[in-house]
Every structure is written in structure tokens, then in C-alpha cells.
């Protein structure tokens, strides 16, 4: 009955033009539900499938976090290493006491290269008016967008969502390995974890079995769509933009918690909400039921009233891409929601998790 209720709900969201993408639910290591909805390519009415690859926006930060922690495990830097000790940041406004841990936990206080606010479209248009966004080909290309802005806070004083922090972490990876961030992650993470359908693709690249991203255009009586090509950075970077499948991302989460990518100490630390920053994301509804939000090394955590981890994961949002990747340790549940239209995954993820939690009692 629960499977039927999930399928009915998702079919209704698809019919209402509120969801296009895939859902994968794995419970105690077994696939409990999978379903694909909407079009990967609307112009030719090519349907999404469970093998479709989606751009997953900020979920890519998790690959960066694991890559940096692996370098720490290898003794090539520490959590307390100042960013200035690795990178040539002389003449920038990045404080000299910003550490690798500050960057991982988004407590660096540095300005972001794109300030995500209520009016995304206006902020993006202003950014594009002053910078050639199509010239962004790698992590170093982002430095001029933030490296000379005044800091927002003192290092370590508070958590504030920061794409720039992960750009710097990507540059750390490149400096220490002598390879591009992309090549290093391909060999050290994707190959090790068996993620065969995950890669770093540009929006203008023609790639097999890859969904195009769409932004809804609504008027008083109908809905249309436009591609997201000019509404995002053209390529991926260390702060996000990887292209993957629901199956690969579930495999990635499992590889992290099973210790396939990090040793026991750093695996435990990565999955421990005690290292996380201040509570910045909780809504009034969360507060009413005693939930707390924390941010650790590339992962958001939701804690219960007694401080135990209810679930952890990552959201990914950008025009034409919407994603939620999460694990509930109590229920033994992995829930993957990948979408190729704007802001479609969050409500689906919440509704499905609530259904599953109620069913489990």
C-alpha cells in the first residue's frame, strides 16, 4: 500500500508539472521503490529513466569534502592547516587564519562568489552584467569573483553557506596533487567507489542519457519551459555541478558510511554532527518539534530533541536542477530525489520521508 501511495503521489506531481526526475528509495540495503517521471528532453519527449544522469548542483560539494579528507588522512595537510599555507592568497581579503576545517564547515567568513538571495534571477543578471560567466572553466577562474570582497564574519565565528569555501578547497586539492580537481576526483573517488555513471559535464556538452535542465515559465493560464543553459555556470567546479544518477549517489553515500573512501576515524568524524557548525537552517516548524540543523564536513544533519542524528544528506538547487540525497540511520533508509526542473525535489523529499517515517511507526 505504501508503494502504491508513493507512486500515486509522484504521478500527481508529474501531471501538475511539479516534478520531473527520478526517485530511488533503498531500505536496509534493498530497493524499496524506484520511479522515473517527466522528460529528460522535452523537445523530443524523451522520458527520464532510472539510468538518466542529472546535474545535481551543490551535492557535488560532498565529493570535494571526501577528496580533502583523504588528503588529510594521507598526511598532506591537517584540519588546522591555514589556507594561506597551501595557496598563494597574498593580496586577497581571505583572512590568514582561515583553516581547512573552516572551509569544510563553511565557517570561513569569506564572501561568496554568488550571493544566493530571495531574487535569484536579479542577482544572477547583475553578476552576468559584470563578468563573462562562460569564461569560467576551472576553480581558479572563480577567484576574481570573491577574493577581494570584504569578509562577512570572523573565521570560525558562525556558519554561513559558502560556495567560495569549496572553490578554495578545490584549489587545495589541485595544488597538493598536481592534477585538475576533476581528474583527481575521478580516480580517487569515482573509480574507488564504483561510480561509473558520474562525471563532470558542461551544460553545453552533448552527453548520452543526460537530462536537460528546465525552468518553468508560467502565465495566467498555461505553463511553458526554457532551458537553463544561460542561467548557470556552464561547467562544474568544486562547489557543485557534478552529473550523476540516483543509483550512483546512493552508492556514494553507502561507500562513505561503509568506510570504502576514508578510514574509521575520519569516517566517524564525517558522520558525527558534533563537529558541525551553529544552527542556521531550522524553520519554525522544525523548532516546534525539536529538530536542529547542523553542518559538518560536506553534509547537513537534522538532530532530534535528544541530539541524535535523525538523518543527514545534501540538497542541490540551481535553475533547472533540483536534488535531495539523504540517509536515515534509524530507518536504514536512503532517499534519492533527482530532478531536472527548478525547485522540484524539496517538497517531494519531505513528503516521501514523512510517509516512510509514519509507516515505520
In tens digits, what is the pLDDT along the chain, a chain of 361 residues? 999 999 999 999 999 999 999 999 999 999 999 999 999 999 999 999 999 999 999 999 999 999 999 999 999 999 999 999 999 999 999 999 999 999 999 999 999 999 877 688 888 888 999 999 888 989 999 999 999 999 999 999 999 999 999 999 999 999 999 999 999 999 999 999 999 999 999 999 999 999 999 999 987 677 899 999 999 999 999 999 999 999 999 999 999 999 999 999 999 999 987 665 555 555 666 665 667 888 999 999 999 888 889 999 999 999 999 999 999 999 999 999 999 999 999 999 999 999 999 988 7
Look up the pTM and report it: 0.95
User: Alpha-carbon distance 80 to 101, whole Å?
Assistant: 6
pLDDT at 62 (0 to 100): 98
Is 218 in the same domain as 330? Answer: yes
Is 221 in the same domain as 341? Answer: yes
Is 149 in the same domain as 283? Answer: no
The per-residue DSSP string of 144-190 comes to: GGTTTSPPSS-TTS-----HHHHHHHHHHHHHHHSS-HHHHHIIIII
pLDDT at 121 (0 to 100): 82
Total domains present in the chain? 2
Largest CA distance in the chain: 62
pLDDT at 185 (0 to 100): 98
Is 98 in the same domain as 218? Answer: no
Decide which of 168, 189, 210 is a domain's last residue: 189
How many CA atoms within 13 Å lie on the side-chain side of 253? 26
Is 312 in the same domain as 279? Answer: yes
Decide which of 169, 189, 209 is a domain's last residue: 189
Is 37 in the same domain as 148? Answer: no
In CATH, what number is assigned to the domain containing residue 146? 3.40.710.10
Is 124 in the same domain as 147? Answer: yes
pLDDT at 112 (0 to 100): 96
> Under a CB-based contact definition with an 8 Å cutoff, are residues 109 and 162 in contact?
no
Decide which of 157, 189, 221 is a domain's last residue: 189
pLDDT at 291 (0 to 100): 78
Which 3-state string (H, E, C) describes 259-283? CCCCCHHHHHHHCCHHHCCCCCCCC
Closest to 293 in 3D by CA, of 251, 326, 338: 326
Which residues constitute the domain of residue 103?
62-189
Amino acid at each position: 500500500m505504501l508503494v502504491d501511495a508513493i507512486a500515486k503521489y509522484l504521478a500527481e506531481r508529474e501531471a501538475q508539472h511539479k516534478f520531473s526526475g527520478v526517485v530511488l528509495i533503498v531500505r536496509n540495503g534493498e530497493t524499496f521503490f524506484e520511479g522515473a517521471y517527466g522528460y529528460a528532453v522535452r523537445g523530443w519527449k524523451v522520458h527520464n529513466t532510472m539510468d538518466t544522469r542529472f546535474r545535481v548542483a551543490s551535492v557535488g560539494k560532498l565529493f570535494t569534502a571526501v577528496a580533502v579528507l583523504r588528503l588529510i588522512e594521507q598526511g598532506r595537510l591537517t584540519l588546522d592547516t591555514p589556507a594561506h599555507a597551501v595557496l598563494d592568497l597574498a593580496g586577497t581579503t581571505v583572512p590568514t587564519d582561515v583553516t581547512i576545517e573552516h572551509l569544510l564547515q563553511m565557517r570561513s567568513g569569506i564572501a561568496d562568489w554568488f550571493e544566493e538571495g530571495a531574487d535569484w534571477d536579479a542577482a544572477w543578471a547583475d553578476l552576468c552584467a559584470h563578468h563573462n560567466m562562460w569564461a569560467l572553466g576551472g576553480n581558479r577562474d572563480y577567484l576574481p569573483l570573491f577574493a577581494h570582497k570584504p569578509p562577512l564574519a570572523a573565521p570560525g565565528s558562525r556558519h554561513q553557506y559558502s560556495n567560495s569555501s569549496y572553490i578554495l578547497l578545490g584549489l587545495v586539492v589541485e595544488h597538493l596533487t598536481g592534477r585538475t580537481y576533476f581528474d583527481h576526483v575521478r580516480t580517487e573517488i569515482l573509480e574507488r567507489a564504483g561510480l561509473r555513471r558520474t562525471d563532470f559535464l558542461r551544460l553545453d556538452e552533448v552527453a548520452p542519457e543526460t537530462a536537460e535542465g528546465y525552468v518553468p515559465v508560467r502565465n495566467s493560464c498555461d505553463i511553458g519551459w526554457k532551458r537553463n543553459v544561460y542561467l548557470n555556470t556552464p561547467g562544474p567546479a568544486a562547489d557543485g555541478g557534478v552529473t550523476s544518477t540516483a543509483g550512483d549517489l546512493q552508492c556514494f553515500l553507502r561507500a562513505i558510511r561503509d568506510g570504502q573512501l576514508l578510514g574509521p576515524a575520519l569516517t566517524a568524524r564525517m558522520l558525527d554532527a558534533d563537529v558541525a557548525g551553529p544552527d542556521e537552517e531550522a524553520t519554525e516548524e522544525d523548532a516546534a518539534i525539536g529538530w536542529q540543523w547542523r553542518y559538518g564536513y560536506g553534509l547537513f544533519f537534522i538532530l532530534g530533541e535528544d541530539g541524535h542524528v535523525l538523518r543527514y544528506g545534501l540538497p542541490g538547487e540551481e535553475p533547472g536542477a533540483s536534488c535531495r540525497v539523504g540517509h536515515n540511520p534509524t530507518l536504514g533508509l536512503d532517499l534519492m530525489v533527482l530532478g531536472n526542473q527548478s525547485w522540484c525535489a524539496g517538497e517531494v523529499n519531505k513528503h516521501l520521508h514523512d510517509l516512510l517515517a509514519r509507516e515505520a511507526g
